[in-house]
Amino acid sequence: MKTVFHVVCLLFSVASLAQESTIVEEKREAFYKANGAKEKTLLGLDYLDVVTRQNPDTAKVLMPNIYQWALESKDKPLIGRTMHQQGNLYLFESHYDKAVDAYLDALRFAEENRDQNRIAKLHNALAVAYLRMGHSQDVKSLYERAAEYSELSIKEIEILRDTIFLVNALNTRGVIANNEEDYEVAFNAFQRGLLLAEIVNLKAPWLPSLYSNSAEVILKLRNDPDRAIRNLNRALELYPLYEDETGLEHSYRNLAVAYTQKKEYAKAEMYGKMALEIGQRFNDKYRIFLSHKALYEIYDQTSDYRKALEHMRLYKIYEDSTLTVEKNLAIAEVETRYQTEKKEEEIAQLSTENRRRRNQFIGAGLASVLFLGLAGLALLQNRSIKVKNKKIEEQSGQLKTMMRELHHRVKNNLAIVSSLLKIQSNRMEDETAVQAVLQGRQRVDAMSLIHQGLYHKENVSQVNMKQYIGELCLSLMTAYGFTEETLKLYLEVESEELEVDVAMPLGLIINELVTNAFKYAFTENENPVLSVSLKKAKDLTLTIQDNGPGVDVASWQKRGQSFGKQLVNGLTRQLGGKLEIESQKGTRFTITIPANKLK
């Protein structure tokens, strides 16, 4: 077994190091040929991205020069990116206090320059830093701080409509929730991230990490090592595309846990050692600590107490080295200093504004001696306009706040109704009644999703249909026991924003028709396929198609049928739409809503 392991590690190390050496050499050569401050900074940052993991000492030597070139370039977004990179370098070395300090400096700079994109990414970086600290010490307050930064980052990215980075932020949120042992939140974050990745056909370095992290939660929440192993193997296929060996370490470590659950201890040991070898090669104390912990649990279960004790001793050593009490206090001091400086800046700005207004008032007083009548009239008119405008702005802001609060309360109330229906169904014995209650619960959840989305949006009257339909279909897919491996789901949403008065009935229609497909279309179908599209040319067209046995169209359109059919027909009429049903190679529902009904 040892011989096989060492051969595997040696072959992997030689191949990956040869590949990485070529990439590093290319980046280094491009960097040294660069001319001008801006080009040197850009290519220097590209070089740092690949050399940091292999040779952090080189990265540390180059960083001050690259920062100086960034300042000389006077390119503010580039300066912000360079400051961000400094924090990443500290984080890689497990210097969490310095990483947080660097990120907060970069955040201050980004806020001064109103660089919303960089602000969102730095909030995510701070979430990762606090997550790492919390993981190494298992401190609840650090996880809570990480979650605050993560939630803030997600909200900002949703406003920016950056779907690609949103997937990364959801990945971070899922990892934090996983460490807080809130596995449902973690699972939902990872599943939403994977769905969004599929919708936009994502090709980004954090995609394999998403598969690996989701597998970790599946092991804890679903206790399903086989499904977890499928996700981990998918991650292993993707990591080489992005030359991410530290990601490979994470997947190997999770494979060790999965095979431990399956009691296949030889495979678990092999993957645990492969993970440890990568962590040691990069001298990543955080990953070494986690790998020793995984190996300790393997040997503990196999009653090899000598090895178990040795790995426990080592993982405690590395755990203690990643964070100390002094560092923890230093981090708290840095953040306090940052918040204090922000308050002082706000006070200084208010003082400057007050002086400016006082000077304006004096000037206006002198001028009024010459033009008292005209100036007095203008002043009164201006004041009246300002008062009215201010009142309108206040009312508008209050209305938005009230609407958000209303959506939040409706969402919470619907969640209570959903929970009551779940409890009620658990007490029932009649299967028909149970199914009826569960369908009612799904309808409630479909409405709740809309209010949840509106609560987080700036525009409280419009629904992001692309996000909503994706989350709704994923929720129903999970409820009926389907996964990405067992069902092909195709989503095509062109009309992204719809008024809530249209989105709500449309969402209920989608819920009914998709539920109908999951219940009846795929019972004897080995390769189920479901397609949902929402397009807008002149009119709005919703199409839902499955590859099941098809329906009896005449029977479906008869009056007095099931509540679900009545609901679809009634809501279609409410929207002023037209429903068409085709039954060839499956069932195809098409609902067309005229443009004049959307206003």
Give pLDDT tens digits along the chain (599 positions): 443 333 333 333 434 444 445 677 888 888 888 889 999 989 988 888 877 766 778 888 889 999 999 999 999 889 989 999 999 988 888 888 888 889 998 998 999 888 999 999 999 999 999 998 877 666 677 888 899 999 999 999 999 989 889 999 999 999 999 988 899 999 999 999 998 988 888 787 788 999 999 999 999 888 899 999 999 999 999 888 877 778 899 999 999 999 999 999 999 999 999 999 998 988 888 889 889 989 988 988 888 878 887 887 887 777 666 544 344 444 444 455 555 555 545 545 555 555 555 545 444 444 444 443 444 444 344 454 445 445 445 444 544 554 555 545 554 555 555 555 555 556 666 677 666 666 666 666 666 666 565 545 555 567 888 888 888 888 888 888 888 888 888 888 886 788 878 888 888 888 888 888 888 888 878 889 999 999 888 889 999 999 888 888 877 777 666 778 888 888 888 888 999 999 888 899 999 998 887 76
Q: Are residues 535 and 413 in the same domain?
A: no
| Helical residues (DSSP H) of 202-324, grouped into ranges | 206-217, 225-238, 245-261, 265-281, 285-301, 305-322
In a domain, 73, yes or no: yes
Same domain, 531 and 472: yes
- What pLDDT score does 448 carry? 62
Contact indicator for 147, 124 with CB cutoff of 8 Å? no
Q: Is residue 96 part of a domain?
A: yes
User: How far are the Cα atoms of 95, 116, 119, 123, 545 from residue 101, in angstroms, in the given order?
Assistant: 10, 20, 15, 13, 53
Identify whether 192 is part of a domain: no
Assigned domain for 240 exists: no
Instruction: Give the end of a domain, one of 417, 435, 460.
Output: 460
The tokens describing 539, both together, are 């009119």
Query: Would 523 be classed as within a structural domain?
Result: yes
Distance in Å from the first CA to the final CA of the chain:
69
**pLDDT value for 485:** 83
Task: Judge if pTM exceeds 0.85.
Answer: no
CA distance 217 to 407: 30
Q: Give me the pLDDT at residue 32, please.
A: 86
Task: For helices 116-137 and 285-301, give the axis angle rounded to 10 degrees.
Answer: 40
Which residues are within 8 A (CB) of 494 and not within 5 positions of it... i.e. 6 or more apart? 533, 534, 535, 536
Could you tell me if 472 and 576 lie in one domain? Answer: yes
Domain carrying residue 428: 395-460
- The amino acid present at 329, given as its one-letter code, is L
Query: Is the CB of residue 498 less than 8 Å from the CB of residue 506?
Result: yes
Domain co-membership, 467 together with 452: no
In a shared domain, residues 456 and 485: no
DSSP letters for 456-487: T-SSTTEEEHHHHHHHHHHHHHHHTT--TTT-
Question: Residue 304 region, left (φ>0) first, then alpha (ψ -120 to 50), else beta?
Answer: beta
User: Is residue 493 domain-shared with residue 595, that is, in the same domain?
Assistant: yes
Are 546 and 530 in contact by the 8 Å Cβ rule? The answer is: yes
Q: Are residues 471 and 548 in the same domain?
A: yes
Residue 544, domain CATH: 3.30.565.10
Within this chain, do residues 442 and 476 fall inside the same structural domain, yes or no? no
Which among 59, 85, 114 is the end of a domain?
Answer: 114
Domain boundary among 114, 141, 156: 114
CB–CB of 27/47 below 8 Å? yes
Q: What is the pLDDT of residue 369?
A: 40
Looking at the fold, whether 488 and 550 belong to one and the same domain comes out as: yes
pLDDT at 240: 82
Q: Looking at the domain assignment, is residue 585 inside a domain?
A: yes
Q: Is residue 12 part of a domain?
A: no
Q: Is the domain of 453 the same as that of 483?
A: no
Under 8 Å between Cβ of 518 and 546 = no
What local confidence, expressed as pLDDT, does residue 517 receive?
87
Q: Which of 520, 540, 523, 542 is nearest to 531 (CA)?
A: 542
Within a domain: 590: yes
Q: How many domains is the chain built from?
A: 3
pLDDT score of 168: 92
Q: For residues 466 and 456, state if they share a domain.
A: no
470 and 559 share a domain? Answer: yes
